[in-house]
């Protein structure tokens, strides 16, 4: 049965969704890997428009669905092989973490364990890097557990921080690393399953 070999990816995102788009475009060249659903809690998220234009199903969920396990039930009808977080700001509920061990992956726009944890997202992360005087920043791809940014690290890649950098210029550099590496790392994880 051909279907048995197909691997499914779903996404959680709260923002622009440029990583989600990049990953969907990467996997569109591979018949055996499908991108089945984009989930967001934010009706203004750019990721919704991206999902529409890429013809990927999307679902705008309410916080109650997240907390009362109806979202978990929805996931269980899809049976995803990977749950990919890209700019998703809510904590993943314990019931979903428990149902998908080693299948929920996040990307953080800095070199964890530095500049992570609750409230560390977007430009706050890059400003924290600037304020610390670190000479490098980068990306961290990691498994998701019950605590923000604490799951075991799968992959990191670094980039220099110069004196001329701003939070915006760092964000641009970090996005380039994300676009290059996140699809490749996810692809490898699927191959290894
Ligand atoms: C990325 O920098 C990601 O690392 C972080 O949030 C940002 C999302 O960007 N978690 P986008 O929505 O994919 O453009």
HEC string of 117-148? CCCCCCHHHHHHHHHHCCCEEEEEEEECCCCC
- Mean pLDDT, residues 11-30 taken together: 98
- Same-domain check for residues 158 and 96: no
**pLDDT score recorded for residue 149:** 85
d(C-alpha 114, C-alpha 181), whole Å: 20
d(C-alpha 84, C-alpha 160), whole Å: 27
- Same-domain check for residues 53 and 141: no
Which of ligand 1's atoms lies nearest the C-alpha of 107?
Answer: 4
Which among 17, 86, 176 is the best mutation to test ligand 1's pocket, defined by most ligand atoms within 8 Å of the CB?
Answer: 86
- Same-domain check for residues 86 and 144: no
- Same-domain check for residues 125 and 72: no
**pLDDT score recorded for residue 4:** 59
Task: Give the residue from 93, 100, 105 showing the smallest Cα distance to 154.
Answer: 105
Catalytic residue flag (residue 142): no
- Same-domain check for residues 155 and 120: yes
d(C-alpha 10, C-alpha 124), whole Å: 27
Unique residue bearing structure tokens 């992959």: 155
CA 24 to centroid of ligand 1, rounded, Å = 15
Residue 126 pLDDT grade (very low, low, confident, very high; cuts 50, 70, 90): very high
Q: How many domains would you assign to the chain?
A: 2
**pLDDT score recorded for residue 128:** 97
Pocket of ligand 1 (CB under 6 A): 13, 15-19, 86-87, 107-109, 174-175, 178
- Mean pLDDT, residues 114-135 taken together: 95
- Mean pLDDT, residues 74-100 taken together: 95
- Same-domain check for residues 124 and 94: no
Taking the model in full, what pTM does it have? 0.95
Unique residue bearing structure tokens 């051909």: 2
- Mean pLDDT, residues 135-158 taken together: 94
Task: Give the residue from 148, 43, 149 showing the smallest Cα distance to 91.
Answer: 148
Tell me the residue range of the domain where 113 lies: 107-193
- Same-domain check for residues 8 and 62: yes
**pLDDT score recorded for residue 146:** 85
Point out the domain boundary residue: 48, 73, 100: 100
Residue 67 pLDDT grade (very low, low, confident, very high; cuts 50, 70, 90): confident
Point out the domain boundary residue: 100, 133, 156: 100
- Same-domain check for residues 134 and 179: yes
- Tell whether the model's pLDDT for residue 169 goes beyond 60: yes
Residue 5 pLDDT grade (very low, low, confident, very high; cuts 50, 70, 90): confident
- Tell whether the model's pLDDT for residue 1 goes beyond 70: no
- The burial of 167, by beta-carbon neighbours within 10 Å (0-12 exposed, 13-18 middle, 19 or more buried), is given as middle
Determine contact, residues 40/12, Cβ cutoff 8 Å.
yes
Backbone φ/ψ region at 52: left (φ over 0), alpha (ψ -120 to 50), beta:
alpha
Q: pLDDT tens-digit profile of 56-65?
A: 999 999 988 9
Cis, peptide link before residue 113, omega less than 30° from 0:
yes
């Amino acid at each position: 049965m051909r279907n048995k070999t197909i691997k499914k990816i779903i996404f959680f995102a709260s923002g622009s969704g440029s990583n989600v788009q990049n990953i969907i475009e990467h996997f569109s060249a591979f018949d055996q890997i499908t991108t089945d659903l984009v989930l967001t809690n934010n009706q203004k998220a750019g990721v919704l428009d991206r999902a529409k234009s890429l013809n990927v199903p999307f679902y705008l969920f309410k916080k109650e669905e997240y907390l009362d396990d109806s979202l978990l039930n929805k996931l269980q009808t899809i049976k995803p092989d990977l749950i990919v977080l890209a700019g998703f700001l809510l904590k993943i509920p314990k019931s979903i973490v428990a149902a998908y061990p080693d299948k929920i992956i996040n990307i953080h726009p800095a070199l964890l364990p530095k500049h992570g944890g609750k409230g560390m997202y977007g430009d706050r992360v890059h400003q924290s890097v600037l304020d610390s005087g670190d000479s490098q920043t980068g990306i961290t791809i990691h498994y998701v557990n019950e605590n923000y940014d604490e799951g075991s690290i799968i992959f990191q890649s670094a980039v220099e921080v110069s004196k001329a950098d701003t939070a915006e210029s760092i964000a641009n550099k970090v996005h380039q690393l994300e676009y290059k590496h996140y699809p490749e790392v996810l692809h490898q994880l699927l191959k290894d399953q």
